[in-house]
Amino acid sequence: MNTVYLNLLFIIAGTFFSLLIALMLNEIRLVWFKKAAQSLVILPHFISIIVVNLMVLNFFNGQDGMINRMLRDVGLETVDWFQTPSVWPLLLTVIFVWKGAGWGSIIYLATLTGFSEEYYESARIDGAKRWQQIWYITLPLLRPTIIVLTLLALGRIFYGDFGLIYGIIGDNSLLFKATDVIDTYTYRALRDVSNMNSYSNAAAVALFQSVMGFITILFFNGVVRRVDPDSKLF
């Protein structure tokens, strides 16, 4: 349940913010500013998860974390973040979006550059404002790309983002209730040298993830085929 729930949060938030960043970058007319902004939003993708872990510790660690110091300064009650499982689905989603949304916007931005300018010229002649052009022209033209990328992401919905989750949560059993996914659970099982069946169990889990991912893609591709045949994968 954690694996599916976290991946759904990642897919929804990641798609929304990647699309939003692409639309915002596409509206920038100054070439040098557009390139600088694109470089800044892509930069977090190249930051090591170890560095991200240190940043998260600096922000949320115990009573000395930056967030708790800010809460104390304004007279609010502090939170022991690393002992509060309920907040971590949201925190992990925020970190995932910060790290990957800029990188994910590249495909959308590349698709946007291929749209014919004649659509927008006709809309401007008819008096359409910029937000109306985005809503009635850009988003409908982007729909096939959004659907295909979402289908591909759904194919890995049973794979947890091991690097992100284990890099930040580690072996903190207090947070397992909300953050433990299939991949981190399997990794801990593989480290248990006393369990002679750990390798065969891990192989079975990997097979389960692949089969379920394949079934998921088949199901949602079938739904898309009925709703929007032009956007299906196959």
User: Tens digit of pLDDT for each residue in 153-209?
Assistant: 998 999 989 999 999 998 899 999 999 999 998 888 887 766 666 778 778 888 899
Q: Which residue has the tokens 């990188």?
A: 103
Instruction: Supply the CATH number for residue 152's domain.
Output: 1.10.3720.10
Band of pLDDT at residue 3, cut at 50, 70 and 90? very high
Q: What is the Cα–Cα distance from 131 to 20, expressed in whole angstroms?
A: 12
Average pLDDT over every residue of 210-217: 91
User: Tens digit of pLDDT for each residue in 121-161?
Assistant: 999 988 989 899 999 999 999 999 999 999 999 989 999 89
User: Tens digit of pLDDT for each residue in 79-127?
Assistant: 899 999 999 999 999 999 999 999 999 999 999 988 988 999 999 988 9
User: Tens digit of pLDDT for each residue in 10-38?
Assistant: 999 999 999 999 999 998 889 899 999 99
For residue 106, the model assigns a pLDDT of 94
Please give the model's pTM, rounded to 2 decimal places. Answer: 0.91
Cβ-based burial of 229 (10 A; exposed 0-12, middle 13-18, buried ≥19) = exposed
Q: Using alpha carbons, list the distances in angstroms from residue 33 to 36, 40, 111, 112.
A: 5, 11, 20, 18
**pLDDT over 80 (residue 50):** yes
Q: What is the Cα–Cα distance from 221 to 217, expressed in whole angstroms?
A: 6
For residue 197, the model assigns a pLDDT of 67
- On average, the pLDDT of the chain sits at 90
Tell me how far apart the 2 most distant CA atoms of the chain are, in Å.
73
For residue 37, the model assigns a pLDDT of 94
Amino acid identity of 53?
Answer: N
Total domains, the chain: 1
What is the residue range of 24's domain? 2-231
